[in-house]
Amino acid sequence: MKLFLISFFSIRTLVSVILVSLVAFTSSYSQEAKKVAPSDSPETKPTNSNVDPKSRAYSLRKKSWVSLRYLRTSLLNFGKKADWDTCLADYSKAESSFQRGEWEPAGNQFQTLKAKLDQLAEAQAKEVFNRSDALEKDIQPKVVDLKLNTEASGKQYIPVMEKHLQIYRDTWQAAKLEREIGNQGQNLYFAKQGLLQLYKAKILLEKSKEGKLESEEKLSKNKVLETDYLTPEEVKYWDDCLEVLNESEEKNRQKEKQAIINVYQSRTGKKPGDGKNNAGTMNSPTSSEGKK
């Protein structure tokens, strides 16, 4: 019996030792696995900083081109030709490196240019947004008042004005998204499109105030073109929103107005406003006779 007990305790001790060793080995293996796991996990792998130079150059080239495109008219319309010339020279230099297949120098040059373009685009977009914000605050109450005024004329313009205001708000949201992800060129583009919608709403608002004008009245009041309802400064921004140069567009507008006047004269045989002047002249002798 005593021998049996000794054997039993010996076996139990041996089993305990084996179990303790197994637990220790398992724990050690688990800790080693934890140490190894991070290096194998895709979530914790270090970011590869060695981006393909060619792909980088292509990406930065495209982004620079977009910003350059939307900045051109703004820089030229608002007296910043020197900035435009500098940006154009920098882009041309980077493009030469790109076309020669010098990917790393081209990428670096486009990167430097993009930073400069982003700064210019962001500043111009901020100016456009400030003007848009002030104009919307001026237009919106007038549209509401026009809707509520049962005696007001020009109510047919209300749905179109509201549509322009809604498009402005949609473009504002789009611009905000582009600005947040660092696409300052696209941010400027949407800012311009939003301001353009507000100008269209303002033009309709002004038309609703004056009612229906006859051709001669339009000519005499100089309201033959859409832009005649905007201030000269607003017309400059209007042109910029349309991506055209204000100086050349002003010449085109003058030609268009003169053409309209010529057509009017050929049809009526008189200049705009001559009828009113003649009427005043015809009435003057009568008044003179009355005085005698």
| Tens digits of residue pLDDT in 130-143 | 999 999 999 999 99
* Each residue's pLDDT tens digit, 226-255: 999 999 999 999 999 999 999 999 999 999
List Cβ neighbours of 65 (8 Å cut-off, separation of 6 or more). 91
- Rank 13-17, 198-202, 259-263 by mean pLDDT and report only the highest: 198-202
Q: Pull the structure tokens for residue 85.
A: 């010339």
User: Above 70 in pLDDT, residue 19?
Assistant: no
pLDDT at 185 over 70: yes
Q: Specify whether the CB–CB gap between 90 and 113 falls below 8 A.
A: yes
Tell me the domain boundaries of the chain. Answer: 53-268
Length of the chain: 292
CB 141 within 8 A of CB 207: no
- Whole-number Cα distances in Å, 98 to 29, 49, 103: 53, 21, 6
- Residue range 192-234, pLDDT digits in tens: 999 999 999 999 999 988 877 677 777 878 888 999 999 999 9
